[in-house]
Amino acid sequence: MFPNEKIDPPSDDKRWRIVQATMRRNGFARHSLIETLHTVQESFGFLDEDSLRYVSRSLRVPLSAVYGVSTFYHLFSLKPAGKHTCVMCTGTACYIKGIPKLLEQIKEEHDISPGQTTADGELSLLTARCVGSCGLAPVGVFDGEVVGKLTPELLAARLQLWRNGNHA
Amino acid sequence: MHERFDEITQKELADNRAAQHVVKVCVAAGCLSSQSAEVKTALEQGVNGRSCKVKGVGCLGLCSEGPLVAIEKHLPDGSSQNIMYQNVTPEDAPAIMESLDKEPVARLLCPTDVPFFQRQQKIVLENSGEIDPERIEEYIAADGYRALITAVTEMAPFEVIEQITRSGLRGRGGGGYPTGLKWVTVAKAPGPDKFVICNADEGDPGAFMDRAVLESDPHRVLEGMAIAAYATGANEGYIYVRGEYPLAIARLKTAIRQAQRMGLLGSNIAGTTFSFNINIRLGAGAFVCGEETALIASIEGRRGQPRPRPPYPAEYGLWGKPTLINNVETFANVPTIIRKGGDWYASIGTAKSKGTKVFALAGSIVNTGLIEVPMGTSLRDIVYEIGGGLPNGGVCKAVQTGGPSGGCIPASYFDTPVDYESLKELGSIMGSGGMIVMDESASMVDVARFFMEFCMTESCGKCVPCRVGTVHMYNILSKIYQGEGTPRDVELLEKLCDMVSVTSLCGLGQSAPNPVVSTLRYFRHEYDELIAGANGSQTAVAPTTEVAS
């Protein structure tokens, strides 16, 4: 099940070793495509064309299929994210408890919509389909830290902290 | 094997009894996001030579009041006394530690004699909030893995299936297909290679039951899967879990490693010829992957698009082999059924829906969190008794069950017992168990629009009715909600609902119109009012309060 030729990673970035380890653990099987893409995204933060080509050749999956998979699933991103990411939960409970208003607030204060990054590359805004903490709605995830019972003030303070970090 | 378990159990019990107080801190996702990890550290630092053991446990249920801390006090006469604290902060730790031998800290006390705790009956969640999810020994001490050992050493596969059939257990993912029947089909399918898949792709917004089970008691799911594998003749298993649940994934990995080390997963389990291994596959954020054929495609490394059934996965599933797919909660019920017998389980619940169901209460309700109640409990009991009603004495307008595939049940039907059939009759579904309570301020048209937006974005794009139909329905709903609708729009909407539900390929499309259909059925006046407002000059359509079904 191993590729006939040795395929070198696009660069000598050490993070490729983690990607290679994932593929090796799965015997370079085609069905490990999603696992591999997860690893690439975890290591690099997003999937660029080089990494898609590399994964495609290593696993012998057509590039079109790799591209198809990476655009089909919401968790994969083809664009680099900002320095900080803010994920707002848009599950039902959060929706009822006022997430749309908070999203509008972010739009007003930072001029970004879900899926966008501020011009200074500091802040990316994403939405998630329920992070499963509905008891704490409305919920936001700030760089991996889940914050519940969000208020407009709390949200503004959190984001301002990041934006200011830039100038400090 | 049983002897070894007895040894572990006794050691665990002795350890537990040795400490005068056992302080249990909830370390499930809800409480963790309100700093329960810091609370735990602070409590550990406060032990200071006291006869006290601090441990992390799974979900204690009342997520809205987290972090929760439960304290078990062992009295000299062998009995124990339990108290619970709510909204604990790291700064409260010294006070709690000081109070151990004295009176409890009154300002933090969480009353446990209220219906929220008293009315529940726990099977799936029995260990949740009791045991440390990261230690297999505690699960074994709570009678864990005994069902698996009994099954593989004393029962024939068909006997296991018979118990499941007798229990009347039905799929907890929402469909309600009889679990025993599914197992029989897979067991009867020919061929040496079969698979067991646990569907932990809990995509419904507003549902977090499976997450809690995986985070609080992961071994229970592994045991259920292993029993299912033995019964159906499978030797490889997959857990397909959402990428959004990092904690659940980490705990599952730990649990699998521990079970392998104890010889409870892997080759020759308990010295028999039965071998079973479990792999974890991560979802990548696609709701449609909760559909079984799409889930299989995703495990195979492809886009998660469903395919027509039949052939059903029980005959032609993962890599073309017979495959059993059950939901987390379904598997979590299995060990208890085998341990206590199918007839015992069948004695709980209603005529057609047996056992208990875990619900995630959220929205405008006082006690948000997880509850487990017998099937047949009425919605009124769930919302007003267990849920504690609405905050500030608000009036409940409707309860949304079943997520984007379900519907809204108006307050006038709250005496309906909750089971698969009754909810279906009301135009909703049991779904995986998310319950969102909505007060008078919620616009039902907006709710329908919200779910349609969800289905529209989550449609995989394979079949036309779902891909195109959901977009049209969303546009019409938006138009009506923004006050630009005409009576003809409602007509068109109804036609589209019918067409999409009848002609779509998979469950996502077939059930996508449900929120619209149910809101049209019970809250048509809201649509009419918005339309009447839009056409002020015309004769306003008389608001109909309730449409006879």
Would you call A161 an interface residue with chain B, using a CB distance cutoff of 8 Å? Answer: no
Q: What is the C-alpha to C-alpha distance for residues A119 and A79, in angstroms, rounded to an integer?
A: 14
Q: What is the pLDDT of residue B430?
A: 87
Q: A163 by DSSP, 3-state: which?
A: helix
Which residues of chain B are in CATH 3.40.50.11540 domains?
Answer: 143-346
CB contact under 8 A, A35 and B287: no
Contact assessment for residue A120 and residue B7, using Cβ atoms and an 8 Å cutoff: no
CB A142 within 8 A of CB A149: no
Q: Is B478 helix (H, G, I), strand (E, B) or coil?
A: helix
**What is the mean pLDDT of the segment spanning A78-89?**
87
Residues 27-56 of A with CB under 8 A from B: 29-35, 37-38
Q: Which residue of A has its CA nearest to B438?
A: A96
Q: Which value does ipTM take for this structure?
A: 0.87
pLDDT of residue B543: 42
Q: Which residue of A has its CA nearest to B319?
A: A31
pLDDT at A67: 96
Put simply, the answer to whether A92 touches B434 (Cβ < 8 Å) is yes
Taking the CA of residue B549 and the nearest CA in chain A, the distance in Å comes to: 27
Region(s) of chain B under CATH 3.40.30.10: 13-112
Place of tokens 């289905």: B455
Could you say which residues from 106 to 165 on chain B have a Cβ atom under 8 Å away from some Cβ of chain A?
Answer: none
The answer to whether A130 faces chain B, any CB pair under 8 Å, is yes
Of the pLDDT bands very low, low, confident and very high (cuts 50, 70, 90), residue A165 is low
Query: What percentage of chain A carries pLDDT values higher than 70?
Result: 95
pLDDT tens string A121-140: 888 898 888 887 777 888 89
Mean pLDDT per 10-residue section of chain B, whose length is 549 residues: 89 87 90 88 88 91 87 85 91 89 87 90 92 94 94 95 96 89 95 94 86 94 97 95 90 96 93 94 89 94 92 93 95 96 95 93 89 94 92 90 90 92 90 88 91 92 94 96 92 95 93 94 94 64 40
Check residue B373 and give its pLDDT: 94
Contacts with A67 (C-beta within 8 Å, 6 or more apart), sequence order? A52
Q: What is the pLDDT of residues A19-65, one digit of tens each?
A: 999 999 999 999 999 999 999 998 998 999 999 999 999 999 999 99
CA-based nearest residue in chain B for residue A39: B282
- Residues near B212 by Cβ (< 8 Å), separated by ≥ 6? B28, B29, B58, B59, B125, B128, B358, B360, B370
| CB-based contacts of A10, cutoff 8 Å, min separation 6 | A16, A50, A51, A53, A54
Domain spanning B13-112, CATH class:
alpha beta
Location of each CATH 3.10.20.600 domain in chain B: 356-439
Contact list, A130 vs chain B (CB under 8 Å): 203-208, 244
Q: Enumerate residues 448 to 487 of chain B having a beta carbon within 8 A of any beta carbon in chain A.
A: 450-451, 454, 458, 460
pLDDT at A2: 52
Q: What's the confidence (pLDDT) of residue A73?
A: 92
A62 interfaces chain B, CB cutoff of 8 Å: no
Fold exhibited by the domain B143-346: Rossmann fold (3.40.50)
Taking the CA of residue A65 and the nearest CA in chain B, the distance in Å comes to 8
The predicted pLDDT at position B530 comes to 93
The confidence score (pLDDT) of residue B548 equals 39
The residue written with tokens 């299912």 in the block is B228
pLDDT confidence of residue A135:
77
- B63:A130 CB<8 A: no
**CATH code for the structural domain at B356-439:** 3.10.20.600
For residue B199, how far is the Cα from the chain centroid? 11
A97 touches chain B (CB under 8 A): yes
Best B240, B436, B449, B455 residue to mutate vs chain A (most A CBs within 10 Å) = B436
Interface-testing mutation among A103, A127, A133, with chain B (most B C-beta atoms within 10 A): A133
How far apart are the C-alpha atoms of B345 and B355, rounded to whole Å? Answer: 6
Residues carrying CATH 1.20.1440.230, chain B: 444-534
CATH of B444-534, one of 3.20.20.210, 1.10.486.10, 1.20.1440.230, 3.10.450.30: 1.20.1440.230
Please tell me the distance from the alpha carbon of residue B493 to that of residue B474, in angstroms, as a whole number: 9
In this prediction, residue A143 has a pLDDT band, given cuts at 50, 70 and 90, of confident
Q: Running DSSP on this structure, what letter comes out for residue B48?
A: T
